[in-house]
Amino acid sequence: MGKVLRAEFLKLRKSAIWLLIFISPALSFFVGLAESVEDKSFQWVIAISYMAFIHGLLFLPLLTGVFSAFICRYEHIGGGWKQLLAMPVSRGNVYIAKFLLVLGLLAITQLLFASGVLLVGQLKGFEEAIPWKTLAISSLGGLIACLPLAALQIFVSVAWSSFAAPLAINVIFTLPNMLVVNSEKFGPFYPWAQPFLAMIPTGQDGFGAMNVTMETLLLVILGSFIVFFLTGFTYFQRKEI
């Protein structure tokens, strides 16, 4: 597995994918910097909420699809799958390695988001202490919420040779987030909305599904992740190359 992961990393080492991890954290940073936070009792929490709105609601789900498509792109060009699987590696290790690489890129993106929150607080001179626990739960929660999306997008990217098709599907299902997160009935069960719901600090008065419990979210996230990952893993094991 270590050798497979190393090989996958080498493929992406000089690619433009590393520039993409800065886009969403940078945009959310400027949003946090531009918004005025008058309530000094909840400055950090409000800043996280503002920044998570654009990051978790839109860009984080989109980046999950972009990373997945990018990681599978090389194998779809010039018979890459046949060359890869002709080597002494198992299909299972290849699939898991690609999935872990997507999670690694998302983890770096979340670390950059958390760094952006801290920088916003320093530049705006927040007086209250840094809520490390809230920031950690928000950042880690967004990463965990991306598990089913990453599993689904790796599955789609492996199945379809087109680079644009998986991205188009991801965009189509991400755009309704603005409406879906306002629904107590559908929001918690919509995979593309879960990163945003998981990143919003608990205890904030919100609207609709933004008040769903973390326990419910985790059950939905882990359940859908298991279904998507096992489906994609089984498909890849049986896929004719």
Q: Is residue 8 scored above 80 in pLDDT?
A: no
* Tens digits of residue pLDDT in 172-209: 999 888 888 887 777 788 889 889 988 988 754 444 44
Of 24-33, 104-113, 189-198, the least confident = 189-198
Check the CA dihedral 172-116-201-38 and report its sign.
Answer: negative
The per-residue pLDDT for 208 is 43
Residue 7 tokens read as 């090989």
Over residues 206-213, mean pLDDT:
51
Mean pLDDT for the stretch of residues 35-64: 87
Closest CA to 224 of 138, 143, 165, 150: 150
- Residue 210 pLDDT: 52
Query: pLDDT (tens digit, 9 = 90+) per residue, 114-172?
Result: 999 999 999 988 888 899 999 999 999 999 999 999 999 999 988 887 778 888 888 99
Q: Any long-range contacts for 210-215 (C-beta under 8 Å, 24+ apart)?
A: 210/181, 211/184, 212/184, 212/187, 212/188, 214/141
pLDDT of the residue at 72:
85
pLDDT digits (tens, 9 = 90+) for 57-84: 999 999 999 999 888 887 877 677 777 7
